[in-house]
Amino acid sequence: MTVKNLERFTELLRSLGIKINDPSEDRYYILENTPVIRLKESIVLYVNGIIEQAEEIDYTRFETPRPANILPSPI
């Protein structure tokens, strides 16, 4: 990890409320249950939101797209 990325990641951890330990040069962070609960809630809302929308869409309205036009070339 570059110094800049490390700074960004440390900031991210702090914003997620994750405790950072610094007993030596090998710093590590301590995870508790709050980030796990928050992530679970976000995933539930995200997946349910996707399913809800996907079930609402009438796919006959759309032409079948040609993947070759959208996907990057194999090279």
Residue 31 sits in the site that holds another protein (CB under 8 A): yes
Instruction: By CB under 8 A, tell whether 40 contacts another protein.
Output: yes
Mark residue 17 as left, alpha or beta (left: phi above 0; alpha: psi -120 to 50; beta: remaining): left
Helix (H) or strand (E) holding 16: none
CA–CA gap between residue 34 and residue 17 (Å, rounded): 8
Q: Does 75 contact another protein by CB under 8 A?
A: no
d(CA 51, CA 4): 38
The contact pattern for another protein, residues 9-28, with x = CB under 8 A and - = no contact, is: xx-xx-xx-x-xx---xxxx
Interaction site with another protein (CB under 8 A) = 1-3, 5-6, 9-10, 12-13, 15-16, 18, 20-21, 25-33, 35-36, 38-40, 42-51, 53-60, 62, 64-67, 70-72
